[in-house]
């Protein structure tokens, strides 16, 4: 079990005098943690599925169908296995396990006496579907729940673990034949069903669930909206995506990833079996460390499986074009300098062109793209940093970062907003434009930057560079953003908390405007920056990505 390393939880364990909170659900009694400093209760590490171990490894999650009696829910569970790494990663230094399918609930401590059930904010963590977990300190929901209480719009916060990398997204014919693909997304789906069945016992309203996430967690939110061809199972009433909504490439089917599966078998003791069924049975029984270190290709992807991701959703852009998604209010945004986190540092035009080869553009289109995204460092990402930064990126790096930030995140955010607005879905968009105090001009307002502000955690004992600074203007911006996220979850409108001095966040359908978040407040802006370049991508790149 994960130690209670969050300072707030550790302190409350020492000084809390009240009897521990308990909640009765069908599987038993959940005993949580009283946090008197914040007038909150936390219930951590509650299993929402049977442990996916042994014969249940590499299978869809199964509901927990046994009783656990009295469950100690005062500590986070282990994270789901992250990618093996010798360096730092989201889950570095935190216990990890296959037995990881758990859910956490944080609520105000007066919820039992409140007059009505509270809206629920359901968080899906990011990490490229290969790393991360709900027990990482920067995802502590305590401060978000506290903010909601301060705004007199209380919520219940929920976060989950789901299987990652090849334990969650392995693909191959043997798995496809038995319907065992996209397991991490099925984990998320089962957790949403768990909320529908159990959250009322914790004081949450199952009819008022907002799912939100960042990066691959945001992609997961978008995928749950498009799942099963946009089938509405009444699992949520709204969504928020931070730096991600749809993939910018068509998802492969299982045959495209067969070589990774075959390599896993070849690198394990399962290579001695000769049939697909016996090899798969073996993969389910070998020690998890053997499985993990037999994997050669840890980068992973969801795949078209004909079920949760049907052929029509294999290209997410087509799903939006065709209206194959749940029509519920939506908030989506991206950070100004997203591309600096992913673009590398080309030192020649040949390297730059090679990096853009994955776009599949012909020579004429590629030349036009480079004209629209020139090598002028004043126009590259990180933006608004001038011609030269000491120890910073060169002009080619800034050029590539500008292109890739738009390709992977920003053009897609604009595309999805346009499609939702066309189909009369209420949609709000934002641009986050504040460099965190612990960041630098060299990367600018890069990927993940807004998470500090949404969660508002002032202390992260295990990741000191990943929390909100003590700078007054950062705290004020965090409070504003929390106000708007919470207002959206409670009222389906981010403007209802009447935050002092806040600009009104306009509907995208009116004039295609974002709200821009930065220190000193927020303001509306026309969503037309890099109009020619982004429109070129929408007209020339995205239509070729598996258009049907």
Name the nearest CA neighbour of 99 among 131, 138, 56, 158: 56
* Per-residue tokens: 260: 């990774």
Distances (CA, A) of 280 to 97, 259, 276: 20, 15, 6
User: Which among 33, 57, 61 is positioned nearest to 45, based on CA atoms?
Assistant: 33
Buried b (16+ CB within 10 A) or exposed e, 120-140: bbbbbbbbbbbbbbbbbbbbb
Q: Sheet harboring 118-124: ordered strands across?
A: 33-35, 40-47, 102-108, 156-160, 118-124, 204-214, 238-242, 330-335, 427-432, 513-518, 521-526
Give all strands of the β-sheet with 22-25 in edge-to-edge order.
Answer: 22-25, 28-31, 69-72
Whole-angstrom CA distances from 42 to 9, 176, 190, 460 are 9, 39, 21, 18
Alpha-carbon separation of residue 271 from 55, 84, 153, 262 (angstroms): 18, 22, 57, 9
Distances (CA, A) of 408 to 81, 186, 359, 535: 26, 24, 11, 14
3-state helix vs strand vs coil in the chain, percent to 5: 40, 15, 45
Cβ atoms of residues 157 and 139 within 8 Å: no
CA 339, 343, 349, 353 torsion: positive or negative? negative
Encoding tokens for residue 520? 């000193």
| From 159, 180, 215, 449, active-site residue | 215
CA angle 453, 103, 486 (to 5 degrees): 35
Segment holding 342, helix H or strand E: none
355 catalytically annotated: no
Q: Per this entry, what is the length of the chain? A: 548
Q: Nearest to residue 160, comparing CAs of 221, 240, 89?
A: 221
For 190-217, give the DSSP string.
HHHHHHHHHGGGGTEEEEEEEEEEETHH
Q: Which residues are catalytic?
A: 215
């Amino acid at each position: 079990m994960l130690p209670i390393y969050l300072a707030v939880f550790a302190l409350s364990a020492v000084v809390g005098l009240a009897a521990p909170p308990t909640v009765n659900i069908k599987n038993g009694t959940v005993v949580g943690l009283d946090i008197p400093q914040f007038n909150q209760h936390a219930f951590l590490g509650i299993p929402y599925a049977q442990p996916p171990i042994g014969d249940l490894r590499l299978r869809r999650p199964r509901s927990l169908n046994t009783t656990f009696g009295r469950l100690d829910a005062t500590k986070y569970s282990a994270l789901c296995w992250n990618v093996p790494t010798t360096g730092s990663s989201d889950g570095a230094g935190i216990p990890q396990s296959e037995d990881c399918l758990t859910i956490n609930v944080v609520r105000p401590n007066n919820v039992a006496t409140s007059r009505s059930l509270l809206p629920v904010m359901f968080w899906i963590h990011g990490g490229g579907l290969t790393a991360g977990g709900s027990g990482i300190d920067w995802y502590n929901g305590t401060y978000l729940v506290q903010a909601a209480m301060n705004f007199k719009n209380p919520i219940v916060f929920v976060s989950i673990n789901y299987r990652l990398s090849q334990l969650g997204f392995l693909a191959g014919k043997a798995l496809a034949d038995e319907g065992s693909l996209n397991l991490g997304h099925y984990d998320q789906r089962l957790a949403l069903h768990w909320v529908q069945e159990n959250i009322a016992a914790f004081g949450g309203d199952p009819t008022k669930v907002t799912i939100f996430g960042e990066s691959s967690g945001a992609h997961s939110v978008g995928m749950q909206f498009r799942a099963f061809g946009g089938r509405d199972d009444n699992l949520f009433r709204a969504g928020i995506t931070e730096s991600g909504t749809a993939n910018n490439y068509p998802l492969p089917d299982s045959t495209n990833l067969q070589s990774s599966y075959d390599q896993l078998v070849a690198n394990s003791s399962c290579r001695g079996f000769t049939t697909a069924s016996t090899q798969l049975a073996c993969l389910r029984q070998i020690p998890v460390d053997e499985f993990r270190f037999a994997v050669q290709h840890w980068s992973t992807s969801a795949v078209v499986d004909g079920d949760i991701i049907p052929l029509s959703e294999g290209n997410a852009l087509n799903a939006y074009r065709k209206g194959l998604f749940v029509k519920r209010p939506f908030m989506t945004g991206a950070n100004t300098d997203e591309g600096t986190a992913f673009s590398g540092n080309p030192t020649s035009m040949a390297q730059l062109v090679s990096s853009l080869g994955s776009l599949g553009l012909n020579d004429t289109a590629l030349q036009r793209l480079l004209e629209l995204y020139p090598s002028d460092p004043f126009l590259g990402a990180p933006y608004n940093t001038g011609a030269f930064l000491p120890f910073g990126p060169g002009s080619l790096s800034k050029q590539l970062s500008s292109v890739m930030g738009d390709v992977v995140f920003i053009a897609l955010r604009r595309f999805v907003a346009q499609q939702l607005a066309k189909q009369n879905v209420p949609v709000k968009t934002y641009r986050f434009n504040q460099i965190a105090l612990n960041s630098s001009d060299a990367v600018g307002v890069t990927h993940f930057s807004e998470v500090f502000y949404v969660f508002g955690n002032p202390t992260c004992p295990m990741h000191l560079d990943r929390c909100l600074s003590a700078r007054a203007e950062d705290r004020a911006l965090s409070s504003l953003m929390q106000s708007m996220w919470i207002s959206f979850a409670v009222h389906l409108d981010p403007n209802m908390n009447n935050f002092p001095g806040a600009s009104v966040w306009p509907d995208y359908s009116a004039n295609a405007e974002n709200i821009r978040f930065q220190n000193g407040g927020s303001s509306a802006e026309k969503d037309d920056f890099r109009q020619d370049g982004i429109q070129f991508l929408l007209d020339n790149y995205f239509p070729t990505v598996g258009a049907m």
